[in-house]
Amino acid sequence: MPDPDPLDALRDALGATPAPEARTPDCLDDDTVAALAAGTIDAAARVHALSHLATCPRCRHAVASVARALADPAVAREVAVAERGGRRLRYGVALSAAAGVLLLLVGPRLLDLGRPVHRAPPPTGAVPVPASPVGVVADADTLRWVAVPGADRYRVTLFDAPGAVLYETQLADTVAVLPDSLVLVPGRPYLWKVEARTGWDRWSPSELVEFSLAPLRGAPQ
């Protein structure tokens, strides 16, 4: 008989009861849950919070859930953008510049999302798939993706790791050649996505994919 996974008994004992729905007066507030998940809580508050987490599956589950969300690259990128916007405002950089950056990032496509409307989901397979570059590549002067049936236009966006837009264009082809003026640094991570227009003002985004140029031979690591 094979030995059971040695951690399963513990997992069984610890996880037998799902997190209760009801808050108790001792439960952590949102500020503390967020600070624990992000690691920004001060030492004294952490000691107090951990003593509650040790006995409260509800709060522990919430902290784990928020920590996972904050580690999601898409969320992390938007947090970084939002935080950078905050510094710009505090340091008095012109509001119009911040608004311009926001517009570049958000794009006119999302300006009407404050008024949610019901729309049918895009048809199956209607999401573009980035083909290259993905991962560590020798060259990245061209972005390629798999065509979406019925799409009449694609919008490609290239970001640096903190989330700033380096390049954005719209075209009908499934290949976008990056301009010579855009210099990518070997070893540095970049992200890109492509959105396919499949209907009037309907854009189906791909996953955000990461790539980097292989470091030059002999270059310092």
> Among residue numbers 137 through 176, which ones bind another protein (CB under 8 A)?
none
Q: What residues have CB less than 8 Å from 206, skipping those under 6 apart? A: 127, 128, 129, 130, 145, 193, 194, 195, 196
86 binds another protein (CB under 8 A): yes
Cα 76-77-83 angle, rounded to 5 deg: 90
- How many residues line the site for another protein (CB under 8 A)? 80
Q: CA-CA distance, 86 to 81, in Å (whole number)?
A: 9
Structure tokens at 203: 């854009």
Query: Which listed range, 35-43, 128-136, 149-157, 174-182, lies at the site for another protein (CB under 8 A)?
Result: 35-43
42 binds another protein (CB under 8 A): yes
Q: How far is the CB of 16 from another protein (least distance, A)?
A: 6
30 binds another protein (CB under 8 A): yes
Nearer to another protein, 68 or 153 (CB): 68
Question: Cβ(52)–Cβ(28) under 8 Å?
Answer: yes
Q: CA nearest 175: which of 216, 128, 221, 136?
A: 128
Q: Which of residues 91, 117, 180, 217 is near another protein by CB under 8 A?
A: 117
Query: Which listed range, 116-124, 154-162, 183-191, 209-217, lies at the site for another protein (CB under 8 A)?
Result: 116-124
Binding residues among 91-110 for another protein as defined by CB under 8 A: 95, 99, 102, 105-106, 110
Q: Which of residues 24, 26, 51, 153 is near another protein by CB under 8 A?
A: 51
83 binds another protein (CB under 8 A): yes
Query: Which listed range, 65-73, 140-148, 179-187, 213-221, lies at the site for another protein (CB under 8 A)?
Result: 65-73
Q: How far is the CB of 17 from another protein (least distance, A)?
A: 4
Q: What residues have CB less than 8 Å from 185, skipping those under 6 apart? A: 213
Q: Show the DSSP H helices in the chain as ranges.
A: 8-15, 30-38, 43-53, 57-71, 73-90, 95-106
Q: CA-CA distance, 115 to 133, in Å (whole number)?
A: 36
